[in-house]
């Protein structure tokens, strides 16, 4: 019997196998549980593949953007509001993956490990966004037929009050074909050639690394020769100083500066400002801005200093950068969620203070700010932005044979808002993006 | 009126979804305490005394004699690899000769096969003579008693409380359309377990732990049946009653090791006949052709074959040592496995295979054979997977269920979604959606448990099968006959492996094979057979040697 007793250890081998499977299941449950629950066939939360068990989503003024009545989810009754906010609010099938319905699925449905999809009240948590629906509508109208994005963020608090992406769609009448990237939020997920708005990055590097930058004068012969190759400029600026070079957006100056600064300093500055890394908005990963000159010749480096070559910018990342200039060098933590309220009235959207990140020194920020102010005063026209004390920079990103992307970025000194406007294949920066910004900003609260 | 009930229900659900996991956990903990409190100490039954006066106490009812350290009576001069005799205590003492090449003499006369033994007899192994003597006080050191209290009454109490809360929640949920089977099923379960509890109390039976675990699983099974297939509740309750009666009958039948040994051939023959009938008359339901339709009822013969297989495969020690290899048993197993392959019951095939391996190992301890058979099986299995399209598609989806969410991964993805939706506490009985998936009340029960009753109770179900294995492990070494040891270990292995295939198959940890979860899945045959298997636990528990501490 002793022998049989010893052999019964074989049971423990099976128990070990069983326990290993159990452990693995518990691990998967803990890690992937919410992905399992977030399955459109889950009838606790979805009806015919459409989310219904979620709280009410409102904008900053209390306008209802989406709500559930008797197990059916409704968007705002106004078509313009639906279309202007759909990328922030998100559709019900998870096609707009960066929208609240998808990205904040857990908060909206109230799903958590302990209770699963159960809650006593039978409804999810309410969510107030920081967006201003009317401003979003205005921005959408101004973008008109262009594809592009408008983002406006409070540079002190990081609250995004306008987040519009076009082409857009009406969730109540979703289009049959989904080309044109209608489900992409271009503010968060767009990646564009930046053109001259990138000169702000080169300028930051120049201010930081070249002590006598403001004493120097440069020469523009309607372009400049870099190692035997020609970098052209729009005008013959002749003798020009650094400050005017930004105002006139002189390519010759920034080409020379980029080459003088070199790959390392340019890359270091760009990365400090948010290039080559992923920024997040309420946990949503934005597309990466990239500045990559490791294998570049000097002529490429020169072009990279004015936003050509292979520079890529994500509008949200740039908005954060511009907001940092406005905010004395500190980039606020961007967010578009104001509060999340449980059915018992408890706000569970905890925000930790001090989420900002310093991107540049305060003096650099102030210098850049003054230069951008100068741009508006001496080039873009103060009359277009009355009462805002606007500081800005345009961009016209050449992309091969197509019409250039039109950019306009900046901020107001009287109201705490920074903005980014990009319109795809729209033409020059000031005439399209600048005009859109002018009209939208005039409606700032 | 209905609205008032609905409000009652809402409040009751909010509270009881906390209570049920809590009571489930208390039940499980109390069960573990009871298991640990059941302790047996070896008691000397007799002794062999060498000419020098050295005593070899016999503490087991079946004691092997041989040269190696694994023999119960280790006599160094004997063959180290094989045991030459087994001394067995039944009503009288017997000695069985198990090795032809080793002469064993009783009072000077060579033993042919078996001989009765009395105290005072002289046994001669090789050159040395031993006197067979009554036990003496110094044979076994008695360890001091540790007072450990854990009453089966408390266990019963928590089980009943658990069941009442579950029943009330279900009654309120379905009011006013309560399925008539719901009260009937729970009342018959109450009746069985209470009557059984008090009868066993009257018999002073210290160990009803395996039965309690079975009742716990059956309760959860009835909860699932109520939400997934309320029309079958009465049938299921009848299966529980029938299964329970079968359990009592089988355990009484196996009460004496001698009778159990004789019945082995009947069980073996029965298994063969059942599977041949299945081959001839089998009906196909969900892929496998493992159903027989008798007009009034349909049943799955392969479920009963599990019971017969273990009853026929276990053996007492003297038989094991006399026929050291398990050729006959392997032939018998190969026949059963062949039949299962023919009726395309591949889940059953796997379960039988693992059970067979456990039995072969327990009988022979021959790791080489085990490795050889495993290698053969793996080769065959791989070949099968390559050849059979309906199996290879199952393997293709394994660990990739979300890519096939609406085809071959349908059941697994729904199970995972349901399990995650339930959280730790569940959404309440009858509030789930997994019950609408086909065959969910048999194959996906773990998902329904997690969805409606919560992950904590799901883990209690997992623990249940692990604990039954520890139970087998604990009592196997102290049984009065190797027959019970082998039977209980094989049964525990079978239940554990079948549970693994069901639970981890539906949750995509293992490939989905579509086997039932013993005691939980809806299905009469499976329930009756599970109770049949339970009698091997009971057989081992009532045939414990030594003294309870
Ligand atoms: Zn120039």
My answer on whether B282 and B322 are in the same domain is yes
Residue B502's contacts (CB-CB under 8 Å, 6 or more residues apart) are B443, B445, B446, B515, B516, B517, B521
Last residue of a domain, one of B133, B166, B191: B133
Structure tokens at A272: 């400090």
Residue B40's contacts (CB-CB under 8 Å, 6 or more residues apart) are B478, B544, B545, B546, B547, B548, B549
My answer on whether B167 and B126 are in the same domain is no
Going by pLDDT thresholds of 50, 70 and 90, the confidence category of residue B70 is confident
My answer on whether B439 and B489 are in the same domain is yes
What percentage of chain B has pLDDT greater than the value 70?
97
Using the Cβ of B42 and the Cβ atoms of chain A, whether some distance falls under 8 Å is answered with no
My answer on whether B34 and B161 are in the same domain is yes
Residue A215 Cα to ligand 1 middle (Å):
18
Q: How far apart are CA B230 and CA B223, in angstroms?
A: 10
Q: Which helix (H) or strand (E) holds A219?
A: strand A217-220
Structure tokens at B371: 């490795």
CB contact under 8 A, A4 and B362: yes
CATH number at B52 reads: 2.60.200.20
CB contact under 8 A, A114 and B425: yes
Q: Which residue has the tokens 């079948």?
A: B498
pLDDT at B294: 73
My answer on whether B311 and B215 are in the same domain is no
pLDDT in tens, A197-241: 999 999 999 999 999 999 999 999 999 988 889 999 989 999 999
Contact B159, B212 (CB under 8 A): yes
Contact B171, B185 (CB under 8 A): no
- Residues A361, A367, A372, A373, Cα dihedral to 10°: 120
My answer on whether B405 and B456 are in the same domain is yes
B116 located within any domain = yes
pLDDT at A74: 95
Give me the interface pTM, i.e. the ipTM. 0.96
Q: How far apart are CA A214 and CA A243, in angstroms?
A: 7
**CA B352 to chain centroid:** 13
Q: For A159, which DSSP code?
A: B
| Chain B residues near residue A24 by CB distance under 8 angstroms | 509
**Whether residue B2 has pLDDT greater than 80:** no
pLDDT at A354: 66
Q: Which residue has the tokens 């990559």?
A: A292
Closest by CA position to B453, among listed B445, B443, B463, B442: B445
Residue A255 Cα to ligand 1 middle (Å):
10
Average pLDDT over residues B140-162: 83
**Whether residue A122 has pLDDT greater than 80:** no
- Residues B272, B273, B275, B280, Cα dihedral to 10°: 140
B416 located within any domain = yes
Strand locations in B325-387 (E): none
Chain A: nearest CA to B133, how far in angstroms?
Answer: 20
Structure tokens at B474: 């604990």
CA B4, B10, B11, B13 torsion: positive or negative?
positive
CB contact under 8 A, A115 and B423: yes
Task: Produce one character per residue of B189-223: b if its CB has 16 or more CB atoms within 10 Å, e if not.
Answer: bbebbeebbeeeeeeebbbbbbbbbbbbbbbbbbb
Neighbour tally for A126: CB within 10 Å: 21
Average pLDDT over residues B93-112: 90
pLDDT in tens, A171-192: 999 888 777 789 999 999 999 9
- Cβ-in-10-Å burial (0-12, 13-18, 19+) of A50 comes to middle
Q: Are strands A126-129 and A57-58 parallel, antiparallel or unpaired?
A: parallel
Contact A164, A149 (CB under 8 A): yes
- Cβ-in-10-Å burial (0-12, 13-18, 19+) of B402 comes to middle
Average pLDDT over residues B18-26: 97
Average pLDDT over residues A106-129: 90
My answer on whether B249 and B270 are in the same domain is no
Using alpha carbons, list the distances in angstroms from residue B545 to A126, B37, B311, B435, B489. Answer: 66, 16, 21, 46, 17
**CA B128 to chain centroid:** 43
Q: How far apart are CA A29 and CA A40, in angstroms?
A: 18
Task: Return the HEC string of B98-129.
Answer: CCCCCCEEECCEECCCEEEECCCCEEEECCEE
Chain B: nearest CA to A24, how far in angstroms?
Answer: 8
pLDDT in tens, B489-504: 999 999 999 999 999 9
My answer on whether B377 and B523 are in the same domain is no
My answer on whether B383 and B273 are in the same domain is yes
Using the Cβ of B412 and the Cβ atoms of chain A, whether some distance falls under 8 Å is answered with no
Average pLDDT over residues B289-295: 75
| Chain A residues near residue B416 by CB distance under 8 angstroms | 36
B143 located within any domain = no
Closest by CA position to B482, among listed B40, B60, B95, B35: B60
Q: Which residue has the tokens 């002018």?
A: A438
Last residue of a domain, one of B338, B362, B387: B387
pLDDT at A31: 95
- Max Cα distance, chain A (Å): 105
- Cβ-in-10-Å burial (0-12, 13-18, 19+) of A153 comes to buried
Average pLDDT over residues A132-159: 95
Q: Global pTM?
A: 0.89
Bridge partners, B117 (sequence order)? B93
pLDDT at A267: 95
Bridge partners, A126 (sequence order)? A341
pLDDT at B82: 84
Q: What is the mean pLDDT of chain B?
A: 91
My answer on whether B227 and B190 are in the same domain is yes
Counted residue by residue, chain B has a size of 549
pLDDT in tens, B398-429: 999 999 999 889 999 999 999 999 999 999 99
pLDDT in tens, B241-271: 999 999 999 999 999 999 999 999 999 999 9
Structure tokens at A111: 């799903």
Chain B: nearest CA to A72, how far in angstroms?
Answer: 18
- Residues B192, B194, B197, B198, Cα dihedral to 10°: -120
Q: Which residue has the tokens 């052999």?
A: A7
Closest by CA position to B274, among listed B329, B330, B344, B336: B336
Going by pLDDT thresholds of 50, 70 and 90, the confidence category of residue B287 is low
| Chain B residues near residue A15 by CB distance under 8 angstroms | 466, 469-470, 496
pLDDT in tens, B326-369: 788 889 999 999 888 888 888 889 999 999 999 999 998 888 88
**Whether residue B290 has pLDDT greater than 80:** no
Closest by CA position to A314, among listed A273, A349, A374, A282: A273
Average pLDDT over residues B535-544: 94
Q: What is the mean pLDDT of chain A?
A: 93
DSSP characters over A181-197:
TTTS-HHHH--B--GGG
B60 located within any domain = yes
Q: How far apart are CA B161 and CA B23, in angstroms?
A: 8
Bridge partners, A149 (sequence order)? A165, A422
Chain A: nearest CA to B464, how far in angstroms?
Answer: 12
Residues 359-378 of B with CB under 8 A from A: 361-362, 365
3-class DSSP state of A24: helix
B146 located within any domain = no
Last residue of a domain, one of B82, B101, B133: B133
Fold of A193-312: Beta-lactamase (3.40.710)
Average pLDDT over residues B42-48: 91
Containing structural domain, residue B545: 1-42+157-253+400-549
Structure tokens at B293: 């339709």
Cα Rg of chain B (Å, integer): 26
**Whether residue B450 has pLDDT greater than 70:** yes
**CA A208 to chain centroid:** 26
My answer on whether B36 and B53 are in the same domain is no
Contact A91, A27 (CB under 8 A): no
Residues 240-299 of B with CB under 8 A from A: none
B148 located within any domain = no
Using alpha carbons, list the distances in angstroms from residue B104 to A324, B39, B67, B131, B524. Answer: 98, 36, 14, 13, 52
**Whether residue B547 has pLDDT greater than 90:** no
For chain B, what is the domain count?
Answer: 3
Number of alpha carbons in the 13 Å side-chain half-sphere of residue A433: 35
Going by pLDDT thresholds of 50, 70 and 90, the confidence category of residue B145 is low
My answer on whether B419 and B497 are in the same domain is yes
Interface A–B counts its CB contacts (< 8 A) at 159
B287 located within any domain = yes
| Chain B residues near residue A117 by CB distance under 8 angstroms | 421-423, 427
pLDDT at B11: 92
Phi first, then psi, for residue A90 (nearest 5°) are 90, 150
Residue A321 Cα to ligand 1 middle (Å):
25
pLDDT at A372: 95
Q: How far apart are CA A437 and CA B212, in angstroms?
A: 74
């Amino acid at each position: 019997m002793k022998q049989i007793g010893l052999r019964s250890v074989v049971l423990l081998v099976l128990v070990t196998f069983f326990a290993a499977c159990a452990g693995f299941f518990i691990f998967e449950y803990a890690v992937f549980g919410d992905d399992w629950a977030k399955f459109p066939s889950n009838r606790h939360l979805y009806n015919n593949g459409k989310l219904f068990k979620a709280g009410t989503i409102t904008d900053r003024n209390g306008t209802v953007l989406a709500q559930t009545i008797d197990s059916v989810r409704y968007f705002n009754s106004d078509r313009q509001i639906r279309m202007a906010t759909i990328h922030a609010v998100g559709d019900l099938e998870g096609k707009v993956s960066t929208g609240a319905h998808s990205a904040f699925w857990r908060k909206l449905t109230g799903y958590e490990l302990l209770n699963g999809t159960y809650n006593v009240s039978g409804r999810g948590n309410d969510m107030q966004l920081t967006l201003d629906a009317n401003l979003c509508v205005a921005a959408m109208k101004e973008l008109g037929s262009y594809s592009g994005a408008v983002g406006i963020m409070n540079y002190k608090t990081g609250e995004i009050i306008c987040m519009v992406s076009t082409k857009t769609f009406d969730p109540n009448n979703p289009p049959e074909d989904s080309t044109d990237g209608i489900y992409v939020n271009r503010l968060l997920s767009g990646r564009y050639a930046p053109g001259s708005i990138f000169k702000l990055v080169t300028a930051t590097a120049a201010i930081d690394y070249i002590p006598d930058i403001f004493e120097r004068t440069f020469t523009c012969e309607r372009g400049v020769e870099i190692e035997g190759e020609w970098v052209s400029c729009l005008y013959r600026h002749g003798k020009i100083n650094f400050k005017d070079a930004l105002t006139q957006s002189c390519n010759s100056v920034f080409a020379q500066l980029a080459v003088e600064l070199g790959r390392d300093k340019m890359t270091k500055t760009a990365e400090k400002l948010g290039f080559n890394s992923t920024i997040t908005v309420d946990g949503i990963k934005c597309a990466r801005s990239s500045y990559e000159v490791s294998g570049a010749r000097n002529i490429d480096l020169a072009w990279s200093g004015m936003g050509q070559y292979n520079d890529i910018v994500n509008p949200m990342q740039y908005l954060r950068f511009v907001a940092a200039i406005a905010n004395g060098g500190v980039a606020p933590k961007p967010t578009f969620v104001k509060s999340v309220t449980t059915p018992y009235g408890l706000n569970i959207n905890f925000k930790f203070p001090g989420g900002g990140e310093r991107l540049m020194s305060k003096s650099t920020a102030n210098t850049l700010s003054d230069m951008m102010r100068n741009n508006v005063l001496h080039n873009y026209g103060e009359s277009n932005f009355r009462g805002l004390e606007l500081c800005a920079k345009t961009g016209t990103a050449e992309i091969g044979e197509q019409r250039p992307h039109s950019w306009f970025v900046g901020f107001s000194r009287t109201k705490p808002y920074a903005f980014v406007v990009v319109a795809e294949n729209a033409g020059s920066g000031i005439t399209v993006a600048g005009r859109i910004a002018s009209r939208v900003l005039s409606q700032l609260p | 009126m209905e609205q008032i009930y609905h409000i009652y229900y809402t409040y009751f659900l909010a509270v009881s979804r906390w209570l049920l996991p809590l009571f489930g956990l208390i039940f499980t903990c109390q069960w573990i305490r009871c298991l640990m409190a059941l302790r047996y100490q070896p008691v000397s039954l007799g002794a062999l005394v060498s000419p020098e006066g050295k005593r070899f106490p016999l503490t087991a009812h079946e004691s092997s004699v041989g040269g190696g350290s694994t023999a119960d009576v280790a006599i160094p001069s004997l063959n180290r690899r094989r045991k030459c005799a087994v001394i067995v205590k039944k009503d009288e003492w017997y000695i069985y000769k198990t090795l032809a090449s080793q002469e064993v003499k009783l009072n000077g006369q060579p033993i042919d096969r078996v001989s009765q033994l009395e105290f005072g007899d002289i046994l001669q192994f090789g050159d040395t003579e031993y006197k067979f003597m009554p036990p003496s006080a110094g044979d076994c050191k008695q360890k001091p008693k540790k007072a450990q209290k854990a009453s089966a009454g408390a266990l019963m109490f928590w089980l009943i409380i658990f069941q009442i809360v579950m029943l009330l929640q279900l009654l309120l949920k379905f009011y006013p359309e309560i399925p008539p089977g719901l009260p009937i099923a729970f009342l018959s379960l109450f009746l069985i377990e209470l009557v059984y509890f008090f009868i066993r109390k009257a018999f002073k039976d210290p160990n009803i732990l395996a039965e309690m675990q079975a009742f716990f699983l059956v309760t959860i099974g009835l909860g699932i049946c109520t939400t997934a297939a309320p029309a079958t509740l009465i049938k299921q309750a009848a299966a529980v009653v029938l299964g329970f009666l079968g359990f009592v009958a089988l355990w009484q039948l196996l009460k004496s090791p001698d009778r159990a040994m004789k019945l082995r051939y009947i069980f073996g023959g029965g298994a063969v006949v059942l599977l041949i009938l299945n081959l001839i008359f089998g009906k196909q339901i969900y892929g496998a052709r493992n159903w027989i339709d008798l007009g009034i009822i349909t049943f799955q013969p392969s479920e009963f074959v599990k019971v017969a297989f273990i009853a026929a495969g276990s053996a007492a020690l003297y038989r094991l040592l006399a026929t050291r290899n398990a050729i006959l048993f392997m032939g018998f197993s190969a026949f059963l496995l062949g039949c299962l392959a023919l009726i395309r019951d591949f889940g059953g095939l796997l379960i039988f295979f693992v059970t067979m391996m456990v039995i072969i190992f327990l009988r022979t301890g021959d790791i080489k054979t085990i490795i050889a058979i495993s290698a053969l099986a793996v080769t065959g299995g791989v070949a099968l997977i390559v050849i059979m399209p309906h199996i290879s598609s199952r393997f293709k989806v394994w660990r990739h269920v979300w890519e096939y969410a609406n085809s071959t991964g349908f059941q697994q993805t729904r199970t995972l979604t349901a399990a995650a939706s339930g959280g730790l506490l569940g959404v309440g009985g009858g509030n789930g959606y997994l019950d609408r998936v086909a065959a969910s009340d048999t194959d996906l029960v773990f998902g329904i448990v997690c969805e409606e009753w919560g992950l904590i109770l799901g883990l209690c179900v997992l623990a249940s099968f692990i604990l039954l294995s520890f139970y087998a492990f604990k009592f196997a070494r102290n049984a009065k006959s190797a027959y019970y040891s082998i039977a209980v270990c094989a049964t525990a292995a079978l239940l554990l492996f079948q549970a693994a295939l069901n639970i981890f198959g539906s949750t995509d940890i293992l490939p989905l094979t579509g086997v039932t979860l013993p005691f939980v899945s809806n299905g009469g045959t499976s329930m009756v057979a599970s109770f049949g298997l339970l009698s091997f636990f009971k057989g081992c528990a009532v045939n414990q040697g030594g003294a309870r501490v």
